[in-house]
Structure 1
Amino acid sequence: MSDTPDLLSRSLDAVQRRIDAVLSAENARWTAVDPRCTPFVDTVTAITTAKGKLLRPRFCLLGHLAAGGDAADPRVLDAAAALELLHSFALLRDDVLDDSPLRRGALTAHQRHARDHRTRGMRGEARRYGEGVANLAADLAHVYADRLTRELPAPARAVWDETRIEVTVGQYLDIAVAAEGVADPELSRWIAVCKSGRYTIERPLQLGAAIAGRPDLTEAFEAYGLPLGEAFQLRDDLIDTFGDSEDTGKPTGLDVAQFKMSYLLSLAVRRDERVRALAAAPAGPRGAATMRDLLVDSGVVADVEQRITHLVDRARHALAEAPLVPRWRTELLDLTTSVAYRDR
């Protein structure tokens, strides 16, 4: 089992090289057409290379290896690279929808292009320009991701298509529920799973297994990936609400300040009159600080931590009897803890 981390690391390095090759070739291709294209393609490159964790490719590779697949299979390397580019698509679009100013400690794409618009004295509205470029860059990342999946077998392609649909519908419901001010914990939980949890863990695992020709693992990876994906997103909500922006590289408290109905906030609204009163309108920075105190005081934070523990236990139990290659089962079990209890 000593070669397990090295094999996975080498595979992840191969995925990163594949991504770099795609983006480098596209940059050269479109720069030759017109130099204006360089900062556009670079928008995809910047957000893709800044993330670093390769979490979704990691789960895709682990799903493939745990199913007995070959780490050198070019189809799984391409699928893992596609998942990372799909993640870039989702982040670019999310930052526009959330009007987030920072990502990984740097200006978000729409803010950066808006600043460029102002600096150069261009025509039109800087905000619309910046958001337009970021949205188009998100579309470009999505196209690159989809192009990498051309050689997937039909069962894997079905998983890929479902992943893209879930992310998009989840993003829509996220902003719709926030705009309506709906406090429905179960709906908020479902949106979080659909928008983030599934495409982070469950679908990448199923995609890797499908490429290995193991559709029999679909249910086992659902039983593992669904609760762990929810735990991942609940931890994300806690980090967004209570984390340190110096550690996360992005502003914290945006969901609370903008009254976005995360599971955390919707549960508190249902439970505590003080939270309901404060959440009647977007909280703003001052109200967000009060809201954080109320979330702790109401016991909601403790309940969410308890739910994360329960979800982690469910995920670990689901792997116990699954017909997986033992060393990769162990790797997945180890990853379960780091995903659910991370601090950034």
Structure 2
Amino acid sequence: MTWDGTAFRTSIQEVLDEFLDEMGARLEPLGPDAARLLAEARASVSGGKRFRAAFCYWGFRSVAPAPYDERPLLRACAALELLHASALVHDDLMDASDTRRGRPATHRGFEAEHRGDGWRGDPEQYGAAAAILLGDLLLSWSEELLRRCGLPIERVAAAMGVFDLCRTEVIAGQFLDVSVQARGRADVDAAMTVLRYKSAKYSIERPLHIGAALAGATGDDLAALTAYGLPLGEAFQLRDDLLGVFGDAATTGKPAGDDLVEGKRTVLVALALDAAPDEDAALLDASLGTDLSPDLLARLRAVIDDSGAHAQVEQVIGELVDHALTALDATGAPDDARGVLRDLAAAATDRVV
């Protein structure tokens, strides 16, 4: 089977646009400030690779017999993109990020509006408040869209149980990440725990489970999808960690070396700190979370490369993908679902550093 990923992403965007039109009608009596919040919501759900929606869709297709109702399924999948947008808005605020996908992060945009209009109070506080509220609103809307997707209520109820678990994991994982950064230290095991709960499960395993639950999955079905989805999710985030240090800003939409500027204690950084010579490790450790000149960024990248951490993470990504694909071949998923899930595995982990 040939799956048209571009057409799928367009369909998800159409669902999101229609849902936000509905929410706009609900918010219209609140006036122009609510309209500004809605406009930022629209911007926050525009674009992106739609991996979570895609894994939800093919989690469903790996279990559900044909025929099935496409439109309600797309609405359910789009709910994962509202959840993701919520997480990104909050994440950018917590990380004090300036940009997201090449445009100002939500808190920076509202901060700039406050400052430009000469309003009273602290522009940064206003931007932070707006980002918290928008993230909360997107989180609420994600549950509403899934609950009202239109699939049979007993299937939606099963999926909501997984969705509840997913939200708990990602929020707690985010707090683990914040705490690790605050302590200024994390070994590889601690960094892997953050990676697993903040990103890996939420990005691939749980979307697969939500889709499968909507199709009436058994416990065995979910376990088989975990054997594929969890190692793939870990590989996905390890690739993201490499992009956060070595990625091209024109491709990632984030400043060069953003993870180092934000002081992220990732698996990549933990491995480098373990393996680098003492002087290099001390430089890397002291530089995390500071403004980096181009020369210092280049030096830190060289430290990570020379330590062997970059190559080691690449090797681990390859091993995790191999485990995931072996597990996928052992599932009872139809051939077309397995074929697309193989392609999605490559798309999620082969992104260019």
Q: CA deviation at 1:339?
A: 1.0
Deviations 1:91-126 (A, max 9, x none): 100110111111111111110100000011111100
Counterpart in 1 of 2:299? Answer: 290
Q: Distance in 2 between matches of 1:244 and 1:149?
A: 35
Counterpart in 2 of 1:303? Answer: 312
1:190 aligns with 2:200: no
Counterpart in 2 of 1:239? Answer: 243
Q: Distance in 2 between matches of 1:146 and 1:184?
A: 35
CA, structure 1 residues 253+266, in 2 after alignment: closer, same or farther (shift >3 Å)? same
Q: CA deviation at 1:257?
A: 2.1
Aligned 8 A contact 2:275 2:308 in 1: no
TM score, norm. by length of structure 1: 0.94
> In the alignment, residue 302 of structure 1 is paired with which amino acid?
A
Aligned-partner SS, 2:47:
helix
Q: List aligned pairs for 1:56-71, cutoff 5 A.
A: 56-69=52-65, 70-71=67-68
**2:206 aligned residue (203, 208, 211):** 203
Counterpart in 2 of 1:220? Answer: 224
1:274 aligns with 2:279: yes
Aligned-partner SS, 2:32:
coil
Q: CA deviation at 1:214?
A: 1.5
Q: CA deviation at 1:290?
A: 2.1
Q: CA deviation at 1:270?
A: 2.0
> In the alignment, residue 26 of structure 1 is paired with which amino acid?
M
Q: Distance in 2 between matches of 1:281 and 1:33?
A: 46
TM score, norm. by length of structure 2: 0.91
Q: CA deviation at 1:228?
A: 0.6
Q: List aligned pairs for 1:1-344, cutoff 5 A.
A: 1=1, 4-6=2-4, 12-51=9-48, 53-69=49-65, 70-150=67-147, 151=153, 152-215=155-218, 216-272=220-276, 273-278=278-283, 279-280=285-286, 282=288, 283-286=290-293, 287-343=296-352
**What stretches of structure 1 of length at least 5 have no aligned partner?**
none
Q: How many residues matched?
A: 340
**What stretches of structure 2 of length at least 5 have no aligned partner?**
148-152
Q: CA deviation at 1:73?
A: 5.0
Structural RMSD (CA): 1.8
Deviations 1:42-66 (A, max 9, x none): 1111010132x21111110011111
Q: CA deviation at 1:335?
A: 1.6
Counterpart in 1 of 2:150? Answer: none
Q: CA deviation at 1:134?
A: 0.9
Aligned 8 A contact 1:27 1:41 in 2: yes
Aligned-partner SS, 1:140:
helix
CA, structure 1 residues 294+10, in 2 after alignment: closer, same or farther (shift >3 Å)? closer
Aligned 8 A contact 1:96 1:131 in 2: yes
Q: Distance in 1 between matches of 2:156 and 2:21?
A: 27
Q: CA deviation at 1:11?
A: 5.3
> In the alignment, residue 255 of structure 1 is paired with which amino acid?
D
> In the alignment, residue 159 of structure 2 is paired with which amino acid?
A
Give % identity.
39
Q: Distance in 1 between matches of 2:52 and 2:241?
A: 19
CA, structure 1 residues 160+313, in 2 after alignment: closer, same or farther (shift >3 Å)? same
> In the alignment, residue 285 of structure 1 is paired with which amino acid?
L
> In the alignment, residue 83 of structure 1 is paired with which amino acid?
L
> In the alignment, residue 101 of structure 2 is paired with which amino acid?
R
Aligned 8 A contact 1:15 1:78 in 2: yes
Deviations 1:219-239 (A, max 9, x none): 111111111101100100111
> In the alignment, residue 216 of structure 2 is paired with which amino acid?
G
Q: Distance in 1 between matches of 2:265 and 2:202?
A: 20
Q: CA deviation at 1:293?
A: 1.0
CA, structure 1 residues 325+138, in 2 after alignment: closer, same or farther (shift >3 Å)? same
